[in-house]
Amino acid sequence: MFQGFSKDYLVSRSGECRTFCRVIVVTGRSESDVEMAVQPVYARWLNSSPTVFTSILASLGKVELHLSTIGANVEASEQALTSAVAAISDVLGASLVSTDGSPIEVVVGRLLKERDAYLAVAESCTGGLTSSRLTDVPGSSDYLHSGWVAYSDEAKIKALGIDCRLIKKYGAVSKEVAEAMAMSAYELAGVQYALGITGIAGPVGGSAEKPVGMVWIALVGQNSLRQTRLLRLSGERADIKYQASQEALDLLRRALLQCV
């Protein structure tokens, strides 16, 4: 109905003016941090012709910049947007995920596929969310090999072959166990990259030393790639799960871009 009737009617009422949009996705930085970085840049396009408007929209684990311009001249509008996107991208550096609105799971998938690489994921506190987000993308069988949800200590020992003495010595939520989870997934699956995620999603189970929201993520990859990151997240259980999966995907994304 929209294509057949409404669209022509709306176009005839709008003159030739159209709205042109681009969406820039950023991760790993706060809304105010992104605003401080990009404000001097987008301010230039507020006084240009055609004017490019920029809105900042923060949501869990990411910040989006929505750029738009209204005009009758398609070429001039697209050109202005392309220039603004390029200038903003420049100041964002490695925190820039995409300039076409793609979420990080799509971008990570593209990067893996371009490198003919496969990924395995070993998850504890995220409980399969990272694998599930990756498999939300059509064609993800081209780069996601396998995943383990090692939720209990016993699962970490039985399914992933983690040394029980390691868990006893450092605790299930530790750099050492995150690394061991990633390494086990890497070796068991025989892939190019593997992620390990272990943490305390809450609302209970935290301690003074290891509070709710503490999450260790580890990345293991070909050419002796070994990285870990300690997160101290806040929010509800679902928020912590989501942010932890986001950070794990971002650790991999940055490694794939070789700009860590």
Q: Which stretch binds a copy of itself (CB under 8 A): 9-17, 21-29, 81-89, 235-243?
A: 235-243
Q: Which stretch binds a copy of itself (CB under 8 A): 43-51, 187-195, 226-234, 249-257?
A: 187-195
Among 68, 83, 89, 135, binds a copy of itself (CB under 8 A): 135
How are strands ordered across the β-sheet holding 119-123? 119-123, 193-199, 214-221, 225-232
Under rule CB under 8 A, residue 161 binds a copy of itself: no
141 contacts a copy of itself (rule: CB under 8 A): yes
Q: Of 49 and 234, which has the nearer Cβ to a copy of itself?
A: 234
d(CA 89, CA 86): 5
Establish if 115 lies at the interface with a copy of itself (CB under 8 A).
no
Could you say whether residue 189 binds a copy of itself (CB under 8 A)? yes
Token pair, residue 69, equals: 């311009």
Among 22, 62, 145, 253, binds a copy of itself (CB under 8 A): 145
Based on the shown chain and the rule CB under 8 A, indicate whether residue 121 belongs to the binding site for a copy of itself: yes
Q: Is 68 in the site for a copy of itself (CB under 8 A)?
A: no
The interface with a copy of itself within residues 12-51 (CB under 8 A) comprises none
- Calpha distance 196→120 (Å, rounded): 9
Dist. CA 65–CA 44, nearest whole Å: 15
For residues 234, 140, 95, 20, the Cα torsion angle rounded to the nearest 10 degrees is: -110
Least separation in angstroms between CB 161 and a copy of itself:
11
Per-residue CA distances from 246 to 51, 126, 217 (Å): 33, 10, 11
The answer to whether the beta carbons of residues 160 and 148 sit under 8 Å apart is yes
Residue with tokens 């404000």: 39
Instruction: Report the largest interatomic distance among the alpha carbons of the chain, rounded to a whole angstrom.
Output: 72
In DSSP notation, 176-235 reads HHHHHHHHHHHHHHT-SEEEEEEE--SSS---SSS-TTEEEEEEEETTTEEEEEEEE--S
Among 39, 49, 86, 139, binds a copy of itself (CB under 8 A): 139
Quick check: 116 binds a copy of itself (CB under 8 A)?
no
Residue 136 sits in the site that holds a copy of itself (CB under 8 A): yes
Return the residue of 54, 99, 126, 243 that touches a copy of itself, per CB under 8 A. 126
Instruction: Please say which residue, 54 or 245, places its beta carbon nearer to a copy of itself.
Output: 245
In the complex, minimum distance from the CB of residue 180 to a copy of itself, in angstroms, rounded to a whole number: 16
Other CB atoms within 10 Å distance of the CB of residue 26: 25
Q: Which residue stretch of 7-15, 34-42, 143-151, 163-171 sits at the interface with a copy of itself (rule: CB under 8 A)?
A: 143-151
Residue 236 tokens read as 């509800």
Q: Are strands 214-221 and 225-232 parallel, antiparallel or unpaired?
A: antiparallel
134 counts as binding a copy of itself under rule CB under 8 A = yes
List contacts with a copy of itself (CB under 8 A). 118, 121, 123, 125-132, 134-136, 138-141, 144-152, 154-155, 158-159, 188-190, 201-205, 237-238, 241
